[in-house]
Chains A and B, each alone.
Chain A
């Protein structure tokens, strides 16, 4: 019984961690203030 509880705890923590990570997601950022270029840039 105790082994079953330990395994369930491990599974629950893994699920909680992944769900939290994906819920936080990746930052969307902001629209760049740089323009669409009409000149040739010197470097990247």
Chain B
């Protein structure tokens, strides 16, 4: 009976001990993925920002500029690309919609971002674009890989359509979460005019004919939760200028937009809550279950060996049993 129990414990011990590395190194890369049908919105605000008045072509301070970002996963497109890519792919259609204080559109820039569902590496396929311009991304955008490391990453900038390092600065506490702080500075760079302009009748082509060009610089900051790779907070110190040409009436440059863009408070709270929940799921696959199963395997193995050792112990000899009382001898006088 003891031998059978020992063998069952041994089988269970091997089962759990084997499950630990299998979960961490085989199941985790295949199961921890961005869902293809993800839909996310984000609202960012720049208080007391500078905005160009296209009527007078002068910059003015406005109480608030709002940026609404939407990311929407296209499941059909991801399944189509997966057939040739041979890996799980996510296709995000994004829209950055900028709204002035009067509620009118300032700019809207669509983009299509295609990436590996687990590693976040860009995947190149037809349709990858920013504002209708085909691009070939390198580096990450919007999100860091799972188990983010304390190092610089290559980050794609949609305005310049280029990739540059985003630097790991330090580790911080953000509302109870350990986060890695990353920062990237994009120096003044000439960038294309948005395809959709805020004034009817003005197109990038009509602006180009005046000789006026658009320039942009930004300091991009992200607070990234390292287990999920999800930014829980982001900021940009963003400046845009129109330079040269006849459109500016002899001026060398005019500010088109300048502002310190920050996430709206309710979106910060929502993002932190979502990331805390997803973090637990990733930790289950990478730490809690593998370590728990390994420990359980070791305990079961010890019990199995103990039972085996007891079952092999030789039986005690009969002499060890309590001796029967000796028969009384008859005493004769």
| A interface residues (Cβ-Cβ under 8 A, vs B) | 2-3, 6-11, 13-15, 17-18, 21-22, 25-32, 34-41, 43-44
Write 28 A-B pairs (CB below 8 A) sorted by A numbering.
Answer: A2-B7, A3-B10, A6-B7, A8-B14, A9-B14, A10-B16, A13-B15, A14-B14, A15-B22, A18-B19, A18-B23, A22-B26, A26-B35, A27-B35, A29-B35, A30-B37, A31-B72, A34-B39, A36-B70, A36-B95, A37-B41, A38-B95, A38-B97, A39-B68, A40-B66, A41-B43, A43-B266, A44-B270
Tell me what chain B mostly uses at the interface: helix, strand, loop, or mixed.
helix
B177 at interface, CB cutoff 8 A: no
B73 at interface, CB cutoff 8 A: yes
Q: Tell me whether B19 and A14 are in contact (CB under 8 A).
A: yes
Residue in contact with A36 in the complex, picked from B72, B266, B308, CB distance below 8 Å: B72
The number of residues on chain B lying at the interface, defined by a beta carbon within 8 Å of a beta carbon of chain A, is: 49
For B96, give the chain A residue with the smallest CB separation. A36
| B interface residues (Cβ-Cβ under 8 A, vs A) | 3, 7-8, 10-16, 18-19, 22-23, 26-27, 30-31, 33, 35-39, 41, 43, 66, 68, 70, 72-76, 78-79, 93-95, 97, 99, 105, 108, 110, 266-267, 270-271, 308
Across-interface contacts of B41 in A (CB, < 8 A): 37, 41, 44
For B273, give the chain A residue with the smallest CB separation. A44
